[in-house]
Structure 1
Amino acid sequence: MADTYDLVILGSGPGGYVAAIRASQLGLKVAIVERERLGGICLNWGCIPTKALLRTSEIYHYMQNAESYGLKADNVGFDLAKVVDRSRKVAGQLNAGVKGLMKKNKVTVVEGVGTVTAKGKLSVKQGDKTVELEAENIIVATGARARDLPFAKADGKTIWTYRHAMVPTEMPTKLLVIGSGAIGVEFASFYNDMGADVTIVEMLPRILPVEDEEVSAFMDKALTKQGIKLLTGTGLEGLAPSGSGVTAKIKHKDGKVVEETFSHAIVAIGIVPNTENIGLEALGVETDRGHIKTDGYGRTNVDGIWAIGDVTGAPWLAHKASHEGIIAVEKIAGGSPHQMDKANIPGCTYSRPQVASVGMTEAKAKEAGYELKVGKFPFIGNGKAIALGEAEGFVKTVFDAKTGELLGAHMVGAEVTELIQGYVVARQLETTEAELMETVFAHPTLSEMMHESVLGAYGRSIHY
């Protein structure tokens, strides 16, 4: 006899567990199926524990540069095992928090490997036992996994994915990072600050290729200054364990292939959606290169089957998954939510310095045919940034010259991952430059640079 629910959610990452809570708030009887740990990759192996590691490397960097603040810190060092242990404890604390939220919201948690067997039916394998679930609606929130190189599968010893890179048993001495998206740059930043000799290989012409070109150029200079070797427009033709390390065949811009040995390599070339072996093919659920095709509410082409998060495609971000989950659930419950607007989803990279953005880059806006007004304000012109000793970076805003619409905002520098939300709210509220100019920003704050950037787009910057 199957257990019956109004909604069953397959996967408990930031999309799945948030959707479950909202569904419960709306009066639905909900079950969530998870094969590993509540909270999914983001909470246990991604967003949160990586930020714990990056916080450690940030503090370590400050300790090594204490003299610039008038302080003394001699014989600075670290215990790698304790660094990793702190990160894992942070993840464990939040995992326990999600368990508590499921209990508080009366969400049934079913542990095991779930498969959709028919419309409205799902089987969960728990070792030798199988549990049958039924629901009018099923949300697939199975997420994604790291993509392996076709010629070199990660072994967890010298060839790592992000998952291995978060729990190192030894510190890399010479590290190769393959890919310069957010994940690659964050790990490069962490390991460089902790003392490793780091090289990034990027096939495309610039690092952080989805960001505004000025941001990429700034990060190129900043990371190079920190000692990271950047090889853009460069391919990888081979990677194999070699002795106690790994040997890479790197094809440079001039076409020359050079072999170089590293102690470790991190593969950060993208993700693969977890859509295999969960019953979607038999139901005829449409996919595009493995990602489930959905409308703006999370509906698939099969009635009663919904999908959210990384499994549905870019941007592969936790907050996008959570918002998609809420939209889908409110639609299931008979509400009238707004469709997902991916143009208002912020992107953040937690390297040193940080990078954050929302909306169109200047180049994309020009391609779209807009006449632009662009403002840019440097950190060196901000009192709070100078006082913090963080005077490198800038804030850039892109406006439609005809309407004053904020088309995009792009930041690089200290704490910009916190600042970006101001521009996200502005875009959501369809604010123009007029409202932003009239807004009072507290002094002294880093956020004043946001105001100055807007003013600068219209020739009114005060401090630059």
Structure 2
Amino acid sequence: MSEKYDLIIVGSGPGGYVAAIRASQLGLKTAIVERDALGGVCLNWGCIPTKALLRTAEVYHQMQNASAYGLKADNVDFDLDAVVKRSRQIAGQLSGGVKHLMKKNKITVIEGEGRVAKGGAAPKVIVKGKDGKETTYEPKNVLLATGARARTVPQAGLEPDGKFIWTAKEAMVPDAMPKKLLVIGSGAIGIEFASFYNALGAEVTVVEMMDRILPVEDEEISAMALKSFQKQGMNVVTGARVEGVKPGKDQISATIKGKDGKTTKESYDRIVLAIGIVGNVEGLGLEELGVKVDRTHVEVNGFGQTNVKGLHAIGDLTGPPWLAHKASHEGIVCVEKIAGKNPHAFETWNIPGCTYCHPQIASVGLTEAKAKEAGRKVKVGKFPFIGNGKAIALGEPEGLIKTVFDEKTGELLGAHMIGAEVTELIQGYVVARQGELTEAELMETVFPHPTLSEMMHESVLDAYDRVVHM
């Protein structure tokens, strides 16, 4: 008989490993099953290594524009192998950090591929090790945190082929620098890779099926982003789709159908697929247990509970927003409920989103359009980076901070930003929304000078006709 556990977690991404640590803190004997590297896709092939690549692109951009700061940098170039190596080393370092955290918190790490099967109080967990042998565990609770993977479109030939067509994973470890790159999809993943390769000199085309890029963002922010990307040399095509591709000897041709119905054919060195993700539900034994699944995502309530007793699920496996911090918080709520605590049910109303392109983009809450669709009368404040002393001193005068308030109650409905370091600034508004602050408290708050955060204050003031520096 295998060792008994209070909780076995399948998947060690930012949802799984954080849930394991919290479970251990609450006194639950916990094990985590991982078929690959600890930290999951986010740490090893997503959030962290992509930011390392984007940091390289940012530094490279600044070096190319050194003269704007009174500096000299001649013959600026890059070593692609070294760029990728740095990214992989950072991912490896952090994966090792997760291993240390598992040991520190006395969490058993089970290497192998896990699935669930009918059991007693909770499903059994069957783990197939790398040697092919299977071990069965009978925990009191099971938590699935298997994440998701890139969506493909086989009917259009859009499937990763290891050469011409990349998912995010292949785009992080390029075998060569593409001279011409097609990015399909303009969400956060697509735009980040477009920004990275464009900064390093590739001729980048972005195709988006919707009528604007970054479609989940506020329309005003999307429009500013488009202008910036085009200014940087990107070719952006909206309201279009890739109808098919045809690999050649050295390039791959793509047929693109525009919003006018006309098709064009162009050849590229590589294609990056960034058209969404699908949950990793296959091979988990969900059908046998009768687990409710909707379009590759497991259905759960606000505590991560599925319709099967003792079986829980969190993170990308359960649907949008597909964000690491969402998965982590979801995991904490889930295990606290398992441990008999009384956590607030998980909600998605106050989860920030960040896109690490150049310029950066960040948001939380309702866009202006969504607020109006919901029947709210709104007050909108805006403040441009060009009006901020710190932004000008940094050489980053391009950007905007926009806030949306309920006209009647003063509730902060949403905040939307584009510009330098907005992925760090957004948390101020997240805290304000979590604390249910109104415009009154925000206007009375003192922001340090000189900082970019002063623009957050000015945007609030602008919504109520009290803006100072504009």
TM-score range, shorter chain: over 0.9
Q: After TM superposition, which residue ranges in structure 1, 4 or more long, deviate above 3 angstroms? A: none
Equivalent-residue separation in structure 2 for 1:98 and 1:452 (angstroms): 40
Work out whether 1:60 is the aligned partner of 2:60.
yes
Deviations 1:122-180 (A, max 9, x none): 01001231121111110000000111122221112111000000000100000000000
Equivalent-residue separation in structure 2 for 1:177 and 1:388 (angstroms): 30
Deviations 1:414-453 (A, max 9, x none): 0000000000000000110000000000000000000000
Q: What is the CA-CA distance between 1:339 and the residue it aligns to?
A: 1.2
Letter of the 2:16 counterpart: G
Name which of structure 1's ranges 231-240 and 175-184 shifts more when overlaid on structure 2. Answer: 231-240
Work out whether 1:143 is the aligned partner of 2:147.
yes
Work out whether 1:175 is the aligned partner of 2:181.
yes
Q: What is the CA-CA distance between 1:236 and the residue it aligns to?
A: 0.8
Q: What is the CA-CA distance between 1:231 and the residue it aligns to?
A: 0.2
1:273-422 equivalences under 5 Å are: 273-422=279-428
Work out whether 1:450 is the aligned partner of 2:456.
yes
SS of corresponding position for 1:342: coil
Equivalent-residue separation in structure 2 for 1:69 and 1:318 (angstroms): 36
Work out whether 1:435 is the aligned partner of 2:441.
yes
Task: State the partner residue of 2:136.
Answer: 132
Alpha-carbon contact 1:84-1:166 (below 8 Å) kept = yes
Deviations 1:381-411 (A, max 9, x none): 0000000000000000000000000000000
Alpha-carbon contact 1:66-1:73 (below 8 Å) kept = yes
Deviations 1:312-362 (A, max 9, x none): 000000000000000000000000111112010000000000000000000
Gaps of 5+ in 2: none
Equivalent-residue separation in structure 2 for 1:128 and 1:337 (angstroms): 40
Task: State the partner residue of 2:107.
Answer: 107
Task: State the partner residue of 2:82.
Answer: 82
Letter of the 2:302 counterpart: G
Q: What is the CA-CA distance between 1:290 and the residue it aligns to?
A: 1.2
Deviations 1:245-296 (A, max 9, x none): 1100000121111110011110100111001110111111101111000111
SS of corresponding position for 1:189: helix
Alpha-carbon contact 1:149-1:267 (below 8 Å) kept = no
1:126-275 equivalences under 5 Å are: 126=129, 127-150=131-154, 151-152=156-157, 153-275=159-281
Deviations 1:77-113 (A, max 9, x none): 0110000000000000000000000000000000001
TM-score normalised per structure 1: 0.99
TM-score normalised per structure 2: 0.98
Q: What is the CA-CA distance between 1:187 and the residue it aligns to?
A: 0.2
Alpha-carbon contact 1:43-1:95 (below 8 Å) kept = yes
SS of corresponding position for 2:226: helix
Gaps of 5+ in 1: none
Name the % identity: 68
Task: State the partner residue of 2:73.
Answer: 73
SS of corresponding position for 1:5: coil
Q: What is the CA-CA distance between 1:3 and the residue it aligns to?
A: 2.0
Deviations 1:42-61 (A, max 9, x none): 00000000000000000000
SS of corresponding position for 2:383: strand
RMSD of Structure 2 on Structure 1 (CA): 0.6
Q: What is the CA-CA distance between 1:239 and the residue it aligns to?
A: 1.5
Letter of the 1:139 counterpart: L
Task: State the partner residue of 2:467.
Answer: 461
Provide the aligned length of Structure 1 versus Structure 2: 464
Alpha-carbon contact 1:31-1:108 (below 8 Å) kept = yes
